[in-house]
């Protein structure tokens, strides 16, 4: 027998994605490696050409606990959709009883003969979804599942970016530390020379004290940098789902020999605002949240209308199992229930109002998410361009100070200038080198921030899976079959 599910009209608004109104172009001028071409998501972290960064992001993708929680929520949402869909179908319960009595004696002294009685029943209940309450619930559950998928994608984008940012931060502090260590070694050598000359009487004790103070001041800056490296590496350990500590040893070993801060080698096509913003998982999640809220309005409105339910019970009853399935042992009843909440003190109407307001709130939240997304991209574009200019100027500054320090040492050793002039040039040169290291790290970090603002690359694995299926001849045969 072919069973069809009776349906009727569906009250409430249809869950549809809200309109996305975007400017035609970005307001920030595209400079230094930024292109106006169509944004195509890519594995942006590989553009840094750093195997260790690639490995850390791969570990985070497979072991990060927040991602595993997000995956669990997707499975939960799918199960909840199944719960909602089950209300579209009838429920059937069965019950089987067997009663036995022995030959007990009655109060009058007679002995009753043993008896047996068997019953088997089926109970049926089916609410016909005339007004779309169940189907709206299914739409809401389906949209909620899509929200959870987008939330996981958003978490994936954020976690990749956080791993990269923490990695670049650790590399920046490491480079600062190595630069400082080199300066400290140079100062120590100079201090030993000055102390030797003071012992011979060619240098004043004041100069020795001044230079020793400058040396100790520079050396004192090493410990805070080591602490900052450890903090950044420990954050990576949490992101890749392992205990803090062992990764720090790997970081120390990776800087032998010294390596510069990795920089992205690819130009970045930022596209037009509409395409870039629509690609962001947080915007997509907010869009589907609007659809969840719209479906909830339909569920609330359906409760205002009459409900029709088919009920029935039937089965077999007999004292002999051999006669259980005979016509005489068969019995049952079929019925229809009609219910209509005529008066509830306005409760159901207020529920509809609540759902409408929640739908409006979801729409406003979507608009706020879009505005925030545009602001983040614009900010990332400005930050990227400004740090490029800062780095260029700092490189020129460091080159000038390198030449100035050579000249200052020569003048000091020739007795033209006093020690204070040399110390001042060395102090300013060291500060410029430290600022350049920070700028190098910030340029790389701003590349990561821009990719994150553009939506990251949450779909590259999905594209690869689809491509592999399309290239597989077995998949093609199964599709044709």
400-454 pLDDT per residue, tens: 988 988 888 888 778 777 777 777 888 788 888 888 888 888 889 998 999 899 8
Place 246 in a pLDDT band, splitting at 50, 70 and 90: confident
Which pLDDT belongs to residue 323? 67
Does the pLDDT at position 4 exceed 50? no
- Predicted confidence band at 275 (pLDDT cuts at 50, 70, 90)? confident
Q: What is the pLDDT of residue 375?
A: 92
Smallest Cα–Cα separation from 312: which of 118, 89, 126?
126
Of the candidates 161, 155, 160, the residue with the CA atom closest to the CA atom of residue 72: 155
What is the pLDDT, as a whole number, of residue 202? 60
Kindly give, in sequence order, each residue whose CB lies less than 8 Å from that of residue 471, ignoring residues fewer than 6 positions away. Answer: none
Contact (CB, 8 A) for 285 and 151: yes
Within 8 A by CB and 6+ apart from 66, the residues are: 155, 159
* Residue 5 pLDDT greater than 80, yes or no: no
> Per-residue pLDDT averaged across 287-310, rounded?
93
Distances, alpha carbon 257 to alpha carbons 232, 247, 251, in Å: 21, 18, 12
Residues 374, 379, 380: CA angle, nearest 5 degrees: 100
What is the rounded distance in angstroms from the CA atom of residue 6 to the CA atom of residue 1? Answer: 15
Q: Measure the CA–CA gap between 61 and 82, rounded to whole angstroms.
A: 28
- What SS3 state is found at 93? strand
> In the 8-state DSSP scheme, what is residue 300?
H
So what's the pLDDT on residue 480? 38
Q: What is the mean pLDDT of residues 385-408?
A: 88
**Cα dist. 177→53, 171, 226, 256 in Å?**
20, 10, 7, 13
pLDDT at 1 over 60: no
157-185 pLDDT, tens digit per residue, is 999 999 999 999 998 888 888 888 887 88
Strands 268-269 and 91-101: unpaired
Structure tokens at 322: 């051999």
Burial of 275 (0-12, 13-18, 19+ CB in 10 A): middle
Which of the four pLDDT bands, split at 50, 70 and 90, describes residue 365?
very high
pLDDT digits (tens, 9 = 90+) for 322-342: 666 666 667 778 888 888 998
User: Which residue in 241, 232, 235, 264 sits closest to 47, CA to CA?
Assistant: 264
CA distance 263 to 283: 29
Task: Compute the distance between CA of residue 359 and CA of residue 321 in angstroms, rounded to an integer.
Answer: 59
pLDDT at 3: 38
User: What is the tens place of the pLDDT at every residue in 64-97?
Assistant: 999 999 999 999 999 999 999 999 899 999 888 8
pLDDT score for 27: 80
- 348 — pLDDT class (breaks 50, 70, 90): very high
Mean pLDDT of the chain: 83
The pLDDT > 70 percentage for the chain reads 86
What pLDDT, on the 0 to 100 scale, is given for residue 142?
94
**Residue bearing the bigger pLDDT, 318 or 134:** 134
Question: How many residues are there in the chain?
Answer: 481
Q: Which string of DSSP letters, residue by residue, matches 218-280?
A: HHHTHHHHHHHHHHHHHHHHHHTTS-SSHHHHHHHHHTSS--PPP---S-EE---HHHHHHH-
Find the DSSP H helices in 64-132.
65-86
Tokens of 154: 């958003």
Q: Is the CB of residue 454 less than 8 Å from the CB of residue 384? A: no
Residue 152 has pLDDT above 90, yes or no: yes
* pLDDT per residue as tens digits for the range 32-73: 677 777 767 678 899 899 999 999 999 999 999 999 999 999
């Amino acid at each position: 027998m072919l069973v069809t599910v009776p349906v009727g009209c569906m009250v409430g608004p249809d869950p549809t994605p809200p309109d996305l109104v975007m400017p035609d172009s970005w307001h920030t001028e595209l400079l230094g490696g930024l292109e106006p071409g169509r944004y195509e998501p890519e594995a942006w972290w590989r553009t840094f050409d750093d195997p260790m960064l690639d490995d850390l992001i791969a570990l985070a993708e497979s072991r990060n606990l927040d991602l595993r929680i997000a995956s669990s929520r997707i499975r939960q949402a799918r199960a909840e959709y199944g719960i909602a869909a089950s209300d579209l179908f009838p429920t059937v319960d069965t019950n089987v009883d067997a009663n036995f009595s022995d030959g007990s004696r009655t109060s009058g002294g007679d002995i009753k003969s043993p008896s047996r009685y068997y019953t088997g029943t089926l109970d049926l209940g089916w609410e016909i979804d005339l007004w779309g309450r169940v189907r709206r619930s299914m739409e809401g559950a389906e949209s909620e599942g899509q929200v959870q998928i987008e939330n996981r994608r958003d978490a994936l984008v954020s976690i990749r970016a956080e791993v990269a940012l923490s990695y670049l931060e650790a590399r920046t502090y490491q480079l600062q530390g190595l630069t400082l260590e080199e300066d400290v070694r140079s100062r120590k050598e100079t201090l030993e020379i000055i102390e030797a000359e003071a012992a011979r009487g060619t240098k004043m004790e004041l100069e020795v004290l001044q230079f020793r103070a400058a040396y100790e001041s520079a050396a004192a800056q090493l410990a805070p940098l080591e602490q900052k490296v450890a903090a950044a590496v420990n954050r990576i350990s949490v992101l890749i789902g392992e205990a803090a500590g062992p990764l720090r040893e790997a970081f120390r070993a990776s800087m032998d020999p010294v390596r510069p801060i990795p920089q992205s080698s690819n130009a970045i096509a930022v596209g037009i605002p509409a395409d870039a913003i629509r690609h962001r998982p947080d915007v997509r999640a907010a869009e589907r949240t609007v659809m969840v809220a719209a479906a909830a309005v339909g569920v609330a409105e359906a409760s205002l209308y009459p409900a029709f339910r088919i009920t029935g019970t039937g089965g077999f009853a007999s004292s002999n199992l051999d006669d259980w399935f005979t016509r005489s042992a068969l019995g049952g009843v079929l019925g229809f229930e009609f219910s209509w909440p005529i008066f509830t003190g306005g409760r159901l109407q207020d529920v509809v109002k609540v759902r409408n307001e929640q739908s409006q709130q979801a729409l406003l939240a979507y608009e706020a998410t879009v505005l925030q997304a545009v602001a983040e991209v614009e900010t990332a574009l400005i930050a990227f361009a400004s740090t490029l200019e800062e780095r260029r100027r700092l490189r020129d500054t460091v080159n000038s100070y390198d030449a100035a320090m050579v000249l200052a040492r020569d003048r000091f050793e020739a007795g033209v200038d006093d020690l204070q002039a040399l110390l001042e040039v060395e102090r300013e040169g060291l500060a410029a080198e430290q600022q350049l290291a920070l700028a190098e790290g910030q340029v790389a970090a701003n590349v990561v921030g821009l990719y994150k603002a553009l939506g990251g690359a949450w779909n590259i694995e999905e594209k690869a899976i689809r491509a592999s299926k399309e290239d597989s001849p077995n998949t093609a045969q199964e599709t044709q079959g």
